[in-house]
Structure 1
Amino acid sequence: MKKATLLIYLLFLAPQILMAQNAIAVKTSGKGQPILLLPGFATPGEVWQQTAAALPGYQLHVVTYAGFGGVQSVEMPWYDKIKTDLVQYIQANKLQQLILIGHSMGGNLALDLAASLPDHVSKVVVADALACMREVMMPGVPAEALGYGGPFIDQMMAMDDVAQSSYLDQMTGNMISKPADQAQIKSWMQAADRKTFVLGYVDLLKLDNRPILPSIKAPVLIMVAGQPFGPGALETMKKQYLALDNKEFAFAADAKHYLMLDQPEWFNETVLSFLEK
C-alpha cells in the first residue's frame, strides 16, 4: 500500500519537477499568428508589456529566463539550456509561421532559433543585439579564454547590496533614458539570482552568432540604438551582420539600449510595419 501511494505521489510530482528544471517560463495570450517575445539579459518578460499591447491579433508567447523574474535558476552553461528549451517549446507547441522578437540577448536567441528551426520561423526582429558582443567589448580575446572563475567573477559574486546598487545605477543609466524605467530595470536586476547574473554574462561574452548568419533565411529587422555611440553604432552593427543576407536596419538616433522603453511608439510602429510587409 505504501509503495502504491508513493508511486501515485511521484507520478503527480514528476511533471512539477520537470517544470522546475526548465530554463524558461512562458506566458501565452491572444490568438493568431504566434510571436515569441524574448527579453534581454536579467530582465523578465514583463519588459515587453508596452510592445505586447501594440500587437493585437497575434498569439503572444512571452518568455522569462531561469534565474530572472522569479524563475528557478539552472546550472551553467545557462544560455545553451535556454536555447534548448526554446527549441523544444516551439516544437512541442507546433508553432508555425513564428515571428521572433528579441532584445539584446533575446536577439541572439532569436537568431539561434531562426537558424535551428528555419521551417518554423517566418520573420525575426533583433533589437540592439550584437552578433558577437565579445568582439566589440574585448577585441582579440577568444571565447576559450573566458571561464566561470577568476578575481573579477569572485568580486562580482561577493558584491554587497550597496556596491551592487551603485553598479546597477551606472549600468541602467547607460542603457535607459527615463528615470522610472531605470528604476524598474534596476529592481529586476537586484532580484535576479546572483550566480546567474554573473556567470550567465560569461556565457554571453563567449557567444558568437556570426557563423550561423548565412544559414538564416527568414527576413530580419535589426533595430539599432544611437546612444551613447551615435552613428558609429549603426556602422558596428552593419559589420557584425555582414554575413546575413535578408536583412534591413532601423536606426533610433536618440534611443539608448532599451529601445522599446526609450521610444515605444517608434519601436512599435517600426515592428508592425516590418511584420505587415
Structure 2
Amino acid sequence: MNKHTIEQASTPTKTKPGFWSHFAISLTIVSGMLAANFSAKAAESFSVEVIGSGKPVLMIPGLMSDARVWRPTAEALSGKYQLHLISIAGFAGKPAIDGDLLPRVQQQLLQYIDQQQLQKPAVVGHSLGAFMAFSLASTAPDTIGTVVAVDGLPYLAPVFTRSNDTTVAMMQGQAGYLRQQYQQMSTEQLTAMTAQGLFIQATSQAHQQQVLEMAAASDAKAAGQAVYELLTTDLRSQVHNIKSKVLLIGASGAMANETDRSAAQALYQQQIATIANATLEFHPQARHFIMLDQPDWLTAQIATALKD
C-alpha cells in the first residue's frame, strides 16, 4: 500500500490521525492482460504472471502497487506452489479501466479460477489485495482455499475512525469527496501525497523509494475509485461465510506506543471474529509493506498457513 490517508487527502473530519493511517496509506491494484487461455479482453481488470508448480496460490498486491511486491515471496515458495501474481488495472504503470474496479476484479478473478481449472486456490493479499481475498472467500466459499490477509481488513474505514461501529452510511460523503479529489490530481500531486506517508509504508529508504515509484506510475483516477470502493464496501456482515482457514497479519512497526498497538490488534480481531477458523498475528517491527520489511518472517508465516 503506498498511499495517502484520509487525513491527508480530505478536509477535516471526525477521523483521527495516527497509526491508523498506515493501513489507509495503502491498498493496491493493477492492470493488464493474462495467462494461458484467459483472454486479454476478459481480464482487462488485471494481468497475471505465473511462476512455480504445485498447489495454486493467487497473490494480490495493494493500492498503487503491482506484482513486483510479491515476486520475492513467490520465488521463495515456487518449489512447492504455483503462484499466480496479479497486477490490477490502473496501478504501477498498468493501463487503467473506466467504471467500477474492485467488483470487476473480483468477477474476473473468479472467471480466471474457473477457466484455469484451479482447485481451491489459496489467496494471499496485501492491503487492498487482502480486502479482495476476504471478498473472494466470502462470495465463493466453496471455490477459495486458505486466505492470508497481509495488513488488510474486511472493512477499511474503521482504521481511520478507530471504531468498528463505523458504517458505510457514515463514510459515504467523505468517500465521494476523496474520489473527486483523486480525480483532479496530477501525477506530481499524487506522488507528493504518497511521499508524505512513506515512513509508514516501509523502513528502509530503498523500499520507500520502490513504493513511491509504483505510486508515481499509477493512475490517480483509478486510485480514487479504489479508495471510494474500499470505504463504501463493508464485508464484515458476510465474512462468516468463509469456510477456509484465514490468517490475518498486521504490522505495528509504525505505531507510537503500546496503547496504539493494542487498539489495532483489538480492531483487527473484531473484524475476523465471525470467521470460524481465523488467526491473527502481528509483527511489532514491520511496517505496512511487511513483505519488504520482514520478508523471511512473512514467507514463513505464509508457508505455514498454506500447508493445510
Q: TM-score, normalised by structure 2?
A: 0.78
Q: Which residue of 2 aligns with 1:207?
A: 233
- Distance apart, 1:162 and its partner CA: 4.7
Letter in 2 for 1:112: S
Of stretches 169-178 and 157-166 in structure 1, the one that deviates more from structure 2 is 157-166
Q: Which residue of 1 aligns with 2:5?
A: none
Aligned residue-pair number = 261
- Distance apart, 1:115 and its partner CA: 2.0
2:187–2:220 CA contact under 8 A, matched in 1? no
Letter in 1 for 2:227: Y
Q: Distance in 2 between matches of 1:260 and 1:38?
A: 12
Change beyond 3 A, Cα 1:265–1:246: same
Q: Distance in 2 between matches of 1:72 and 1:35?
A: 24
Q: How does 1:239-258 map to 2 (within 5 A)?
A: 239-258=270-289
- Distance apart, 1:163 and its partner CA: 3.7
Q: Distance in 2 between matches of 1:222 and 1:201?
A: 21
Q: Which residue of 1 aligns with 2:122?
A: 99
1:76–1:200 CA contact under 8 A, matched in 2? no
2:305 aligns with one of 261, 274, 277: 274
Letter in 1 for 2:240: P
Change beyond 3 A, Cα 1:236–1:17: closer
Two-structure CA RMSD over aligned residues (Å): 2.2
**Once the two structures are superposed, what CA deviation does each residue of 1:121-166 show, in whole Å capped at 9, x if it has no partner?**
221101111221113324645347248754x544433334554333
1:35 equivalenced with 2:62 (yes/no) = no
2:52–2:75 CA contact under 8 A, matched in 1? no
Q: Which residue of 1 aligns with 2:207?
A: 181
Q: Which residue of 2 aligns with 1:90?
A: 113
Change beyond 3 A, Cα 1:238–1:93: same
- Distance apart, 1:236 and its partner CA: 1.2
1:156 aligns with one of 174, 182, 189: 182
- Distance apart, 1:98 and its partner CA: 1.0
Of stretches 223-232 and 40-49 in structure 1, the one that deviates more from structure 2 is 223-232
2:185–2:220 CA contact under 8 A, matched in 1? no
Q: How does 1:1-277 map to 2 (within 5 A)?
A: 18=41, 22-55=44-77, 56-138=79-161, 140=166, 142-143=168-169, 145-146=172-173, 150=177, 152-227=178-253, 228=255, 229-277=260-308
Q: TM-score, normalised by structure 1?
A: 0.86
- Distance apart, 1:41 and its partner CA: 1.1
2:190–2:215 CA contact under 8 A, matched in 1? no
Of stretches 43-52 and 169-178 in structure 1, the one that deviates more from structure 2 is 169-178
- Distance apart, 1:273 and its partner CA: 1.6
Change beyond 3 A, Cα 1:274–1:155: closer
- Distance apart, 1:118 and its partner CA: 2.4
Which structure has the bigger radius of gyration?
1
Secondary structure of residue in 2 paired with 1:125: strand
Secondary structure of residue in 2 paired with 1:71: coil
Q: Which residue of 2 aligns with 1:4?
A: none
Change beyond 3 A, Cα 1:149–1:235: closer
1:98–1:122 CA contact under 8 A, matched in 2? yes
1:260–1:267 CA contact under 8 A, matched in 2? yes
